[in-house]
């Protein structure tokens, strides 16, 4: 996967981009989604999760209140995907209680909305990859999406 910027013009295009990105992700990988409220983080996640075969787009919802959703099971041929939302995390202690280190250590895809709140201390330094995706609303349905690979394994 190379660093690139894409502009999508509808939620459907954003989900299609997510499905395309999913084909390039090799677990274990940490995907950090960065961007303002309404930038399209959950919409992109729907495409990634569906592209990995872990769940249908309509089954993917923001884990704002539960903090973590899990998609895919051991009996599926799909990758296990953890969808994490750090929007409501306010302290380092709250972040520590989520057990993200364990999720990141698994052979899975961990997608973190509000990834800027994760901080460098929890980012893996082992064989897994790290992908940062910056999303920006450029219009009512238009999104500017920048994908950058920061680690190996992608």
Do you find a cis peptide bond into 28, omega within 30 degrees of 0?
yes
Break the chain into its structural domains and give their ranges: 10-112+139-149
Q: Are 117 and 86 in contact, with CB atoms under 8 Å apart? A: yes
Q: Is 5 exposed, middle or buried (0-12, 13-18, 19+ CB in 10 A)?
A: exposed
- Confidence tier at 17 by pLDDT (50, 70, 90): very high
| CA 134, chain centre distance (Å) | 11
Has this prediction a pTM greater than 0.95?
Answer: no
- CATH among 3.10.20.30, 3.30.110.30, 3.60.15.10, 3.40.50.300 for 10-112+139-149: 3.40.50.300
Average pLDDT, the chain: 86
* Mean pLDDT (whole number) for 115-136: 76
């Amino acid at each position: 996967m190379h660093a690139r910027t894409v502009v999508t013009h509808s939620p459907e295009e954003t989900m299609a981009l997510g499905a395309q990105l999913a084909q390039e992700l090799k677990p274990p990988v940490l995907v950090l989604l960065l961007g303002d409220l309404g930038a399209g983080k959950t919409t992109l996640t729907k495409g990634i999760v569906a592209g990995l075969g872990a769940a249908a787009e309509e089954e993917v919802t923001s884990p704002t209140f539960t903090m973590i959703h899990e998609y895919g099971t051991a009996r599926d041929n799909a990758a296990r995907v953890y969808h994490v939302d750090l929007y409501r995390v306010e302290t380092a202690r709250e972040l520590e209680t989520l057990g993200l280190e364990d999720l990141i250590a698994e052979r899975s895809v961990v997608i973190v909305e509000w990834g800027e709140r994760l901080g460098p201390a929890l980012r893996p330094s082992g064989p897994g990859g790290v992908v940062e995706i910056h999303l920006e609303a450029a219009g009512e349905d238009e999104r500017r999406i920048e994908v950058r690979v920061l680690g190996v394994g992608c």
